[in-house]
Amino acid sequence: LISADMACGLLLQLVLLSTLPHALPLRGCLARMHKSGCQPKSTCTAELVGTFPLVLTVGCNVLSNNPNWGGLSTACSLMVGIYALGGVSGANFNPAVSIALGVAGKMPDGFKQVAVYSAVQIVAGCCAAVACRLFFRDSFNLGPARGYHWWQATLYEMMYTFA
């Protein structure tokens, strides 16, 4: 039998794969944004379309209590998003990635673009959280595991982020 998290992941991947032929003509759009006049709307849409299924897949994995395929379904969702939308927006799909690229000077419009991407990614994440709530009629709080404090979780998150 197929579990709920696998069904969500497969459905989202099929949706993203169906957008791939439409994304190919836009490949390299972000890199040529200033020269060709490519609209920021397409890059923001790509970030929204890529972030939503990624966060939804993680939420489905957590709420289905089936850790066996969680990593694989998340990795597949991310991979399909990168292949389908990477040429459009750079496939950041995470405010931390957008901020890191902004600090490194890799975003063509600098921190203005970082702010817009981060806002779009946060909106997509919130929409995915609402979708998870509607699908499962349940939610979960993010926080340190029992016996740990917030500062310990923050320290580990920073170590893993910069490793």
In this prediction the pTM is: 0.70
pLDDT at residue 139, as a whole number = 83
CA 1 to mean position of chain CA atoms: 28
For residue 34, name the pLDDT band (cuts at 50, 70, 90). very low
Q: How many CB atoms lie within 10 A of CB 156?
A: 12
The pair of structure tokens assigned to 106 is 């890799």
pLDDT at residue 4, as a whole number = 52
pLDDT, tens digit, 9 for 90 and up, residues 111-148: 999 999 999 999 999 999 999 999 998 888 777 888 88
Name the nearest CA neighbour of 56 among 15, 16, 8, 2.
Answer: 8
Q: Which residue has 């379309």 as its token pair?
A: 49
Q: H or E segment at 75? A: helix 70-89
For residue 36, name the pLDDT band (cuts at 50, 70, 90). very low
Q: Which residue has 């709307």 as its token pair?
A: 41
Tell me the three state secondary structure of residue 87: helix
How far is the C-alpha of 76 from the C-alpha of 58, rounded, in Å?
Answer: 11
